[in-house]
A and B are shown apart, each in its own frame.
Chain A
Amino acid sequence: MKTRLLLVLLAISTWGTAQNKTLSGYVRDAATGEDLIGVNIWSPELKVGTSTNSFGFYSFTLPQGEHIIQLTYLGYENQNFEIDLTKNVSINFKLKPAENVLNEVTVTAAESSQIQEQIQMSKMEVPIKQLKSLPAILGEVDIMKTLQLLPGVQSGGEGTSGLYVRGGSPDQNLILLDGVPLYNVNHLFGFFSVFNADAISNVSLTKGGFPARYGGRLSSVLEIKMKEGNMNEFHGDATASIIASKMTLEGPLVKDKASFMVSGRRTYLDVLARPFINAANSQNPETTINPTYYFYDMNGKVNWKISDKDRVYLSHFQGKDDFGTKGRDEYEDYQAEFGFGLDWRNSITAARWNHQWSPKLFSNVTATRSVYNFNTRISQEERYLPNYPDTAGTEESRFAGLYFSGIEDYGARIDFDFVPNPQHYIRYGAGWTNHKFSPGATNFEFQQSGFNLDTTIGGDEIFSDEAFAYVEDEWNVNENFKIGYGLHLNTLFVENTTYTRLQPRIGMNYSLPGNIALKASYADMMQTVNLLTNEGLGLPTDLWVPSTANLKPQTSQQYAAGLAKNVGPYEFSIEGYYKDMQNLVSYREGASFLFSVDDESWEDKVTQGQGTSYGMEFFAQKKAGKTNGWIGYTLSWSYRQFDEINGGQRYFFTYDRRHDLSVVVNHEISENINFSAAWVYGTGRAVTLPEFSYITGLPEELSWWNYRQLTVERATDRNSYRYSPYHRLDVSLSFRKEHKNYERWWTISAYNAYNNLNPFFMETTQDRNGNPQLREYGLFPIIPSIAYRIKF
């Protein structure tokens, strides 16, 4: 058996060796020196090709002789290159950005790059240049908000955070920033993401048909790559809007050898709101309330080309949100101070080394660190002065509570790209991650009249180690049939327990008449980290917890099939999927994560169950031209079933959204004026609403008051009620002007342009006549904004 395998590998790798030579190297942006990912390198004569990997590296084996090599990449001028291939040769290409980025001629995809030629399905790439032309919310173009406009990807709604991909929950998305997992990607309660578009060079989202190199999450892989920094010249980009300012600086440390990029952003909501808060407090001097909020994030990257075959990178990201409110009561006989706050922070660091071992073999070694923490704090101090009734002297009491939680990862991995010939692209690698979870501890302090209490409940750290290995191949079987297949092996070691799962992955592409591609895929996935979410709140108080000896890892199997086709600048795809999920984690009914005085650990508050989701996605996109954009529509169902929830009956997932429609339009009014609009519509979020009440009972001997009956409120089923549908229009108009040494833009935008109330939460209240009433509250009305951007 082993001998046969070796012979097969030898045959693959020595495909006509005596006749073939390899062209290899890197493809970079001619202006900035940035690596270009996914550039198509094609031989129109032989109808074979390849593409650059995540570091811009390519390897293309061709028969000896003269060839024309065609390079194509969205947003760049096509390049044709003639070569007489007599030996293995290393050539680095530089592609020039197209003057008109979205010009139909320049960006019409070559045959090799069209969607119907690619094996990978369920993958969406958003060019940064296109992303920056979309409506800017409060002056900020946001990557996560843009991804939510794609089919199969939903937002949680107003004030909630995360991506919900094909019926999955937010923890099921592997979000990688330069290869490092990020655990919380939200600022301002989900209004913005932590990703500063000015610091990003590439964004891609895979929703299914996962290649074997990915693992650890069930529903999606979001890869975001930071810019490396301009290798040739210093440049800067600064934006000031009504809510935040940011600046990006990049440039060479050693020209054409080493570069840097640093980018920072901070909001000044706290400063802007201060006059209004002071004005409101001045009307009631006895009681003052001071809310504060700010966020910041910072990206930094350095890279150094040690030699033609070696390159090292160091990247770092950190960000923080801090929300708090303090109040004060001041009376003649009574004083009190109270406070409530939330803060959460991310920090990631990655060091990587690229090495080209041979024209056909490339490797990347990465070491990473990722930290996420959040804290919830509450405090109250009271002072009863001697003139307070029934008080003998001054009495003081103080209470403080702190809930803190976090996760810290250290990891390393090595990945190889081996391209023996144009028929095969083989990847393999392995890695290891050490996780440290601090899954929620509550500290209470109380002092009054000499009584002191200082206690911490919970907070035992849990360590786990995760190891993986994979191998995958993309095989162009013939002109009409391509297949990608692989295996991902994942092992988790935690609390003297080992979980191992071999996860097969397969994807295929078959060309039908009319240049239509029929694609299908299957992926088995395992996930060993879980996010406990209070579904009613969606605050960053969500808790990351590990799989343990008692809590099995989540697993899923996803089937997908679809059709895809390019017609000129238009791209069409229709895709259906079915996903089964096991060992999903949820809080039990009635469980409370926050300031719970019981002695239960988080593990006692959760239960495991299963989920099913299925649906159909339709996507039509015009990538080029003065008017471009897309329409995405998703019809889907998503269910959950837990034995201990809803009486064991299946119920709708909170983010089950029957219809989800996005229409995005970008129009170039003139060379310097650009208009864009995005309209979204989605079925209302599911919620458990106590729709009615009735009287039930208990045996008398089990009731404290010897009273048998009990009035309870109940929903028909868990998540049986729906909020009102969500729909929103964002518009943006930008005016560009080119000066001698810089360009500037004025951007005027409106979030929720027709001021639709999109529900955030609901409650029962009473009208003026005392009759019960159900009321939905929104969060964001129309929010106009203006931003000034300068690029130099």
Chain B
Amino acid sequence: MKKFLFIALFAASISSCDNLTEGVVRDIDLPPHTPTMVGTLLADNTDSTLYGIISQTRGLLDSNVAALLSGATVNLYKDNVLQYSWNTQDTMDYYSLNLNDTLGSASGTYKFEVLHPEFDDLTATDQFPPAAIISEAVLNKGAAQIFTFEADEIILNLQDIPGVDQHYIFSCEVRLTDFNFIGDTSWTKADLYSDDQRTIQLAGSSAILVSENGIDADLQLSFASTAFLGAPLEEDYEYRISIKTLSNEGFNYYRSLSSYQTAQGNPFSEPVVIYSNVSGGYGVFALSRTVDRIVR
């Protein structure tokens, strides 16, 4: 009995060593993926064109890549009254609609709706957040540092709106204010940095995301920027700070998207589920208000 067991043990040892060498794997058959429609509309009060990005989901094991969807109709309601309806796609296959004026930020509940004969309807609602109230905006040239490089400091004070959880995206552009031999006085994107722990650098962007996180208090932030990709020039220049106030839906979306992009390629990152507030499918509908301030 014992001898038999020892022989069996030896044989099993050999077979298991093979397994250890080759690895132990199982290929999983997932059920076929049922595509779902995805709709994204990020609209700002200053927009003169609305861009709807309509696509359909592709399964993990689908050999085709994700693609934009044709044949949809996009509707935008305010307080259940249809404001805009469009189904035209531009050269990039976005559902774009040129408005006669800017969208504005009239109060009310806006509903985003996407219809398509092959998919369930998508709907989502949002409201415009209150605009940022800038109590102070100051530029101190050369007063900051980015890594070891001299940079400009931009200080912003934003007034709190009691009872409202305020979220912002800060971005900036810079331009020369005097004609000179470079000859270009158009606005150019500039980097923004902040070591304030409340800020999130938006991945793939030069903008910064901030939330007051439910704390009702005025917000003072300090940013650094390096104007024209290097040390500040001796020529005169000015910054245009854009302060985009986000709704809760918008903030959740931008935060999850930034986390997702930051996590790409890092096996130690926590998984990210991109925020979606759309019923009937996936995507996001979020409204924002932008206020610009020039500092010089």
Contact = CB atoms under 8 A, between A and B. Distances in A.
- A and B co-occur in one complex: yes
Interface of A: 534-537, 586-595, 599-601, 604, 644-648, 688-699, 701-705, 708-715, 717-718, 724, 733, 735, 746, 748, 750, 755, 757, 759, 762, 764, 770-784, 786
Given A692-B33, A702-B207, A778-B25, A714 B282 contact: yes
A698 B271 contact: no
Nearest to B282: A694
B226 to A, nearest CB: 16
A111 B91 CA distance: 85
A759 B51 CA distance: 44
Nearest to A769: B63
Contacts of A591: 259, 269-270
Nearest to A600: B197
A93 B63 CA distance: 75
A588 B12 contact: no
Question: Which of B61, B67, B197 has most A Cβ within 10 Å?
Answer: B61
The 3 closest A-B pairs by CB, nearest first: A590-B259, A688-B271, A778-B24
Interface in B1-44: 2, 5-6, 9, 12-13, 15-16, 19-20, 23-28, 30, 33, 36, 38, 40, 42, 44
Contacts of B273: 589, 645-647, 688, 714-715, 717-718
Interface stretch (B76-84, B102-110, B114-122, B198-206): B198-206
A695 B55 contact: yes
Given A589-B272, A718-B271, A784-B13, A694 B55 contact: yes
B218 to A, nearest CB: 20
B24 A757 contact: yes
Contacts of A735: 2
Given A697-B42, A701-B242, A733-B5, 8 more contacts: A537-B268, A591-B269, A688-B271, A695-B55, A699-B42, A764-B61, A777-B24, A778-B26
B9 A748 contact: yes
A518 B197 CA distance: 53
Contact of B252 (A647, A708, A712): A647
Interface string B245-270: 00000001001111110110011111
A191 B36 CA distance: 42
A775 B270 contact: no
Interface in B65-101: 65-68, 92, 94
A589 B33 contact: no
A588 B270 CA distance: 7
B27 A712 contact: no
Given A697-B53, A764-B60, A724 B26 contact: yes
B123 interface: no
B16 A781 contact: yes
A695 B270 contact: no
A372 B56 CA distance: 50
A606 to B, nearest CB: 10
Given A590-B260, A784-B12, A702 B202 contact: yes
Given A587-B270, A748-B5, A774-B30, A694 B57 contact: yes
B56 A694 contact: yes
A600 B199 CA distance: 11
Contacts of A710: 257
Given A599-B195, A708-B94, A693 B270 contact: no
A586 B268 CA distance: 14
B169 interface: yes
Contacts of A782: 12, 15-16, 19
A171 to B, nearest CB: 17
Contacts of B171: 701-702
A750 B9 CA distance: 9
Interface centre among A695, A717, A783 (most CB of B within 10 A): A695
Contacts of A694: 38, 55-58, 66, 282-283
A696 B274 contact: yes
Given A717-B273, A784-B13, A692 B25 contact: no
Most buried by A among B25, B197, B242: B25
B62 interface: yes
Interface residues of B, number: 75
B197 A604 contact: yes
B33 A704 contact: no
B190 to A, nearest CB: 12
A379 B26 CA distance: 33
Interface of B: 2, 5-6, 9, 12-13, 15-16, 19-20, 23-28, 30, 33, 36, 38, 40, 42, 44, 51, 53, 55-63, 65-68, 92, 94, 169, 171, 189, 195, 197, 202, 204-207, 242, 252, 255-260, 262-263, 266-277, 282-284
A138 to B, nearest CB: 12
A757 B25 contact: yes
A640 to B, nearest CB: 13
Contacts of A589: 256, 259-260, 263, 270-273
**Interface SS of chain B: helix, strand, loop or mixed?**
mixed
Given A709-B53, A776-B26, A698 B282 contact: no
30 contacts: A534-B270, A535-B270, A536-B271, A588-B259, A590-B259, A590-B263, A648-B252, A689-B60, A692-B59, A693-B57, A694-B38, A694-B55, A694-B56, A696-B38, A696-B40, A696-B274, A698-B205, A701-B242, A702-B171, A712-B257, A714-B273, A764-B61, A771-B61, A772-B62, A774-B60, A777-B25, A778-B25, A780-B24, A782-B12, A782-B19
Nearest to B248: A648
A536 B266 CA distance: 12
A104 to B, nearest CB: 27
B222 to A, nearest CB: 15
A724, A750, A784: residue with the most chain B Cβ atoms closer than 10 Å: A784
B44 A699 contact: yes
Nearest to B266: A592
B270 A592 contact: yes
Contact of A783 (B16, B42, B53): B16
A724 B30 CA distance: 12
Nearest to A750: B12
Contacts of B257: 696, 698, 710, 712
In this complex, the member of A595, A703, A714 whose beta carbon has the largest number of chain B beta carbons within 10 angstroms is A714
Contacts of B28: 724, 762, 774-776
Contacts of A775: 25-28
Contacts of B26: 724, 757, 759, 775-776, 778
A351 B270 CA distance: 41
B60 to A, nearest CB: 5
A781 B16 CA distance: 7
A611 to B, nearest CB: 17
Contacts of A692: 33, 36, 57-60
A335 B207 CA distance: 42
Nearest to A687: B271
A695 B95 CA distance: 13
B105 to A, nearest CB: 16
B96 to A, nearest CB: 10
Nearest to A699: B42
A163 B195 CA distance: 39
A714 B66 CA distance: 12
Contact of B63 (A600, A733, A771, A783): A771
Contacts of B283: 694, 696
Q: Which of A701, A718, A772 has the most CB of B within 10 A?
A: A701
Contacts of A696: 38, 40, 53, 55, 257, 274, 283-284
A709 B57 CA distance: 14
B276 A784 contact: no
A594 B268 contact: yes
Contacts of B13: 784
Kindly name the residue among B16, B56, B189 whose own CB sees the greatest number of chain A CB atoms within 10 A. B16
Contacts of A778: 24-26
Residue of A694, A755, A783 with highest tally of chain B CB at under 10 A? A694
A695 B67 contact: yes
A189 B270 CA distance: 20
